[in-house]
């Protein structure tokens, strides 16, 4: 498979420059779409030496050179000597790290009567500019069909410019879905399935379906994921807000308070415990949900908690802005919470209660958000983050001293690779790993705004935020795609990463099941009474 990939990259490609009028630096190449006249190209060298930087992995760091050839890391050693045909990048005084892996995105997703504005090219281009070199997107079934859903997303992903994987959502359960889940795991490289406990009437599943799905996930060695909000109660909360005349974006947060996230998280955890299968809770936004995860993990249950960058760095004050366009851009589910939740989530990430950081990048522009100008229930849910995540986690967590540089690598890359069973191919800078690498300058600064970001949306929930620590170089598949604030990528250059089942989270599950069965002391043999 690798040799096919390298051969693919050797094919000549026509590259055009995308240069939005609102930014001189916001440019990337998009073949076949006439955004500009100026030519640009990917680095032609297949050999690369990153020299003199501090190489950081999740559990170790050292000053060393990194030599890359044909998209693979060949050596990580001090003072490597190379020939003249090798491109050399000086990383002295900077950190050389694995590229970020975003475990939670929604590109080209049809939702709430529209489609997310970022597709598999623009969203990935934005990711690369921010130091993320792989993401895992959620396939939504088509009329409940997993196979039809996957075929749809395979078509959408043809324009990919970086590596990606898929989770699969489950919106119903019957014999055909059960069979298709097996096909997804054994033939299609999907090892995780998501269950929405919210969005009543569309994506939401009930407890019966969730239980069926948890048992099927366990049998396949696939990780069950949940969007944890009580959808029935949210529906009632929405009606209550409308009755009170609260129709603006603030009604979104008021209709789905933290206790409903906590309740659904607790319910999903208990049902996963009943089945004895690992559980992954996506976008943990509240203290309520975090505490349920902490309690379960303390008891020994295998529960993964994923905060997203918006929940870590923002509070809900924006939802009360008097300008609808400003307030509506913050609408996502679960909602961004009141001040205080974010600080507690940061603490939970630093002490290991929460394990990795995603984004839930699900972006709609201001025109799409305006669908709900008279009714918050019609505002498409979602915020940006795929480009901003690495910078914001560094500035919020590392610069503040809450986590180490090694832990930064762990929560933005390595742990995701481990959970979804692609480590050490991804998530590490060691010989044999894919050459997905970033060079971060801790002394450089960044500023976020919608004028210069690479997403197609016209707003940014982190508008005006500044911080320290900037990704100055991104290398994807051994090729320099972001350098000197220039992004050079081409659609079709990304590849699909198959993720095998039975990650480390499943280790020992069979022994725990055997122990449980032996503890039952049942069935009891009883003599039958005669009358």
Mean pLDDT score, 492-506 = 97
Q: Give the pLDDT confidence of 387-410 residue by residue, as tens digits.
A: 999 999 999 999 999 999 999 999
d(CA 357, CA 355): 7
pLDDT on residue 45: 59
- DSSP, collapsed to helix, strand or coil, labels residue 235 as helix
pLDDT above 60 (res 6): no
Encoded tokens for 498:
């198959």
**Span 22-48, average pLDDT:** 44
Distance (Å) of CA 51 to CA 33, 89, 91: 36, 6, 6
Cα separation values, 84 from 47, 87, 292, 434, Å: 10, 8, 57, 23
Query: What is the average per-residue pLDDT within 241-268?
Result: 98
Q: What is the mean pLDDT of residues 311-328?
A: 98
Indicate whether 439 pLDDT > 50.
yes
- Cβ neighbour number for residue 299 with a 10 Å cutoff: 10
Helix 175-187 crosses helix 207-220 at what angle (to 10 degrees)? 30
Q: Looking at the predicted structure, is the pLDDT value of residue 36 above 50?
A: no
Q: In the predicted model, what is the mean pLDDT of residues 409-421? A: 98
Confidence at 158, pLDDT banded by 50, 70, 90: very high
Q: What is the pLDDT of residues 444-460, one digit of tens each?
A: 999 999 999 999 999 99
pLDDT band (50, 70, 90) for residue 24: very low
Report whether pLDDT(27) > 80: no
Pairing assessment for the beta strands 466-476 and 437-447 based on DSSP bridges: antiparallel
In this structure, are residues 390 and 100 in contact, taking their beta carbons and an 8 Å threshold? yes
Among residues 98, 90, 94, the alpha carbon closest in space to that of 408 is found at 98
User: Mean of the pLDDT values across residues 471-480?
Assistant: 98
pLDDT at position 52 is 98
Residues 88-100: tens digit of each pLDDT: 999 999 999 999 9
Question: Cβ(79)–Cβ(64) under 8 Å?
Answer: no
pLDDT for 42: 53
pLDDT at residue 243, rounded to an integer: 98
pLDDT of 528 reads 83
Q: For the residues of 132-147, what is the DSSP string, one character each? A: EEEEEEEEPPBTTBHH
Residue 38 pLDDT grade (very low, low, confident, very high; cuts 50, 70, 90): very low
**CB hemisphere CA count around 44 (13 angstroms):** 7
Residue 12, Cβ density class (10 Å: 0-12 exposed, 13-18 middle, ≥19 buried): exposed
Is pTM beyond 0.75? Reply is yes
């Amino acid at each position: 498979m690798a040799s096919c990939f390298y051969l693919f990259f050797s094919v000549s490609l026509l590259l055009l420059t995308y240069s939005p009028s609102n930014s001189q630096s916001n440019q990337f190449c998009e073949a076949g779409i006439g955004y500009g006249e100026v030519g640009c190209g990917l680095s032609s060298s297949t050999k690369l030496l990153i020299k003199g930087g501090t190489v950081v992995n999740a559990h170790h760091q050292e000053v060393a050179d990194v030599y890359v050839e044909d998209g693979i890391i060949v050596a990580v050693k001090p003072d490597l000597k190379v020939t003249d045909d090798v491109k050399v990048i000086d990383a002295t005084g900077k950190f050389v790290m694995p590229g970020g892996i975003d475990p939670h995105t929604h590109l080209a997703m049809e939702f709430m009567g529209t489609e997310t504005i970022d597709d598999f090219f623009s969203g990935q281009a934005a990711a690369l500019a921010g130091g993320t070199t792989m993401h895992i997107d959620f396939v939504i079934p088509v009329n409940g069909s997993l196979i039809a859903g996957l075929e749809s997303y395979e078509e959408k992903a043809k324009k990919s410019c970086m590596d990606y994987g898929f989770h699969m959502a489950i919106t119903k359960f019957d014999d055909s879905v059960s069979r298709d889940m097996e096909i997804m795991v054994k033939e299609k490289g999907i090892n995780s399935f998501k269950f929405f406990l919210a969005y009543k009437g569309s994506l939401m599943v009930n407890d019966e379906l969730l239980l069926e799905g948890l048992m099927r996930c366990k049998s396949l060695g696939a990780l069950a994921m949940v969007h944890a909000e009580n959808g029935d109660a949210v529906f009632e909360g929405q009606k209550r807000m409308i009755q009170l005349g609260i129709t603006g974006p603030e009604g979104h947060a008021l209709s789905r308070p933290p206790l409903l996230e906590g309740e659904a998280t607790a319910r999903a955890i208990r049902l996963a415990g009943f089945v004895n299968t690992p559980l992954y809770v996506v976008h943990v936004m509240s203290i309520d949900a975090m505490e349920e995860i902490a309690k379960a993990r303390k008891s020994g249950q295998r529960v993964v908690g994923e905060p997203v960058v918006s929940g870590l760095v923002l509070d809900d004050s924006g939802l009360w802005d008097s300008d609808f366009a400003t307030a509506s851009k913050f609408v996502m589910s679960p909602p961004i919470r009141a001040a205080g939740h974010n600080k507690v989530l940061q603490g939970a990430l630093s002490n290991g209660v929460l394990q990795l950081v995603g984004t839930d990048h699900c972006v709609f522009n201001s025109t799409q958000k305006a669908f709900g100008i008279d009714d918050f229930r019609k505002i498409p849910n979602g915020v940006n983050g795929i480009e901003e995540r690495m910078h914001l986690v560094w500035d919020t967590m590392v610069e503040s001293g809450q986590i180490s540089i090694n832990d930064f690598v762990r929560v933005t890359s390595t742990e995701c690779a481990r959970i979804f069973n692609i480590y050490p191919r991804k998530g590490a800078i060691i010989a044999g790993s894919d050459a997905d690498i970033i060079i971060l300058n801790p002394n450089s600064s960044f500023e976020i705004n919608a004028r210069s970001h690479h997403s197609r949306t016209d707003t940014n929930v982190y508008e005006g935020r500044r911080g320290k620590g900037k990704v100055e170089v991104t290398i994807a598949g051994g090729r320099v795609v972001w350098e000197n604030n220039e992004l050079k990528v081409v659609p079709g250059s990304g590849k699909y990463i198959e993720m095998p089942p039975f990650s480390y989270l499943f280790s020992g599950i069979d022994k725990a099941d055997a122990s449980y069965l032996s503890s039952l002391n049942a069935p009891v043999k009883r003599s039958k009474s005669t009358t």
